[in-house]
Structure 1
Amino acid sequence: MALRTIREYGDDVLAKKCKDVKEITPRIQELVADMLETMYEANGVGLAAPQVGILKRVVVIDCSPEGDQPIVMINPEILETSGEQTGYEGCLSLPGKSGIVTRPNYVKAKAVDLEGNEYIIEGEELLARAICHELDHLDGHMYVEKVEGDLVDNEELMAEAEEDHEKE
């Protein structure tokens, strides 16, 4: 496993559509392992292959309590969405910034795991947001295209949250 460089907003690779994975090879397995290590090192909850410069339809997500297995999605596809949630969203490819984005509150998707088995995953709230966010990357889109209003500096956001908490 190795840390990979996370491509940042403005890098051309982030605007390109990814190709399907035709076969789960040792290189794909190594990519997934590297993506997980990179995501954890950057304190992220999700990472898509184009964010590390690879134009393949591969996503890793881990927004669960410690001890749960991370989610590996190869050739993912959203089957169904419902509801709505609006909240701050950030991205490892745009460090230090967040913006308000509206996403579905429920998502049902299918994908292939590292053993080549197709599976269905359902998620609500943060998991639904993460799935939608990461799958957007696979089609060359970033959350900044959906931001309602301006991007904010995460440090300012944290300071405001602390002030609000102190008032309680």
Structure 2
Amino acid sequence: MKLPIVAYGDPVLRKVCVNIDENYPDLDQLIANMFDTMYYASGVGLAAPQIGLPIRLFIVDTGDDEDGNKGYKKVFINAEMIEETGEPWAFTEGCLSIPEIREDVFRKPNIRIKYYDENWQLHEEEVTGMPARVIQHEYDHILGKLFTDTLGVLRKRMIKSKLDCISRGDIRADYKMKFPQQRKKR
């Protein structure tokens, strides 16, 4: 089932999320719905706050690359970032909760992360390159951070009116969204 994605300005996107346990209700269905939602919106990652849930859960699927190499697809539950290393590199990022805005974000290329998968197996792994970047973006979501937080003061001022439009629902998205300040239509 495709779920509505929460838009910029909703308080849930600023919450530090809480851990869950094996008894979280309908977790398998929630994860399946998150993948359906992410694929429908043409995303490569989706965090639970983006569908209105302040829990430490996110998914990643970078898809196969142009050379046919298998993509990186994982479920992260109660993730903890252990280490981020390397020289930060810029890449233009976007976010399903912030449609129509893309900005250069600097992130370190190597991470070490600990998490549970959907079968409650504990993992600790090192990830590099694009998958590491996507994980860092989604991990920020469960900490209540958005990629726009990394921008300089001037750049934030320049996109403020666009962000306000997103909050009000004055944009067109190709997927279902919930806007925190959208006026009711009569």
The TM-score range, normalised by the shorter chain, is: 0.7 to 0.9
1:15 aligns with 2:14: yes
1:123 aligns with 2:122: no
Offset at residue 24 of structure 1 (A): 4.8
Number of corresponding residues: 152
Q: Which amino acid aligns with 1:5?
A: P
Q: Which amino acid aligns with 2:41?
A: A
Superposition RMSD in Å: 1.9
Q: For residue 28 of structure 1, what is the aligned residue in structure 2?
A: 27
User: Contact 1:85/1:125 (CA < 8 Å) preserved in 2?
Assistant: no
Offset at residue 86 of structure 1 (A): 1.1
Summarize the alignment of residues 1-168 of structure 1 with structure 2, pairs less than 5 Å apart: 2-25=1-24, 27-65=26-64, 68=71, 70-83=73-86, 84-148=88-152, 150=155
Partner SS state of residue 23, structure 1: coil
Q: For residue 175 of structure 2, what is the aligned residue in structure 1?
A: none
Partner SS state of residue 53, structure 2: coil
User: Contact 1:15/1:139 (CA < 8 Å) preserved in 2?
Assistant: yes
User: Contact 1:58/1:74 (CA < 8 Å) preserved in 2?
Assistant: yes
Q: Which amino acid aligns with 2:100?
A: G
Q: Which amino acid aligns with 1:109?
A: I
Comparing 144-153 with 18-27, which one deviates more in the overlay? Answer: 144-153
> 1 or 2 for the larger relative contact order (CA 8 Å, sep ≥6)?
2
Q: Deviations over 1:12-57 (max 9, x none)?
A: 1101111101225451111111111100000000000000001110
Q: Gapped runs of 5+ residues in structure 2?
A: 163-186
Partner SS state of residue 95, structure 1: strand
Q: Gapped runs of 5+ residues in structure 1?
A: 154-168
Comparing 24-33 with 4-13, which one deviates more in the overlay? Answer: 24-33
TM-score (norm 2): 0.76
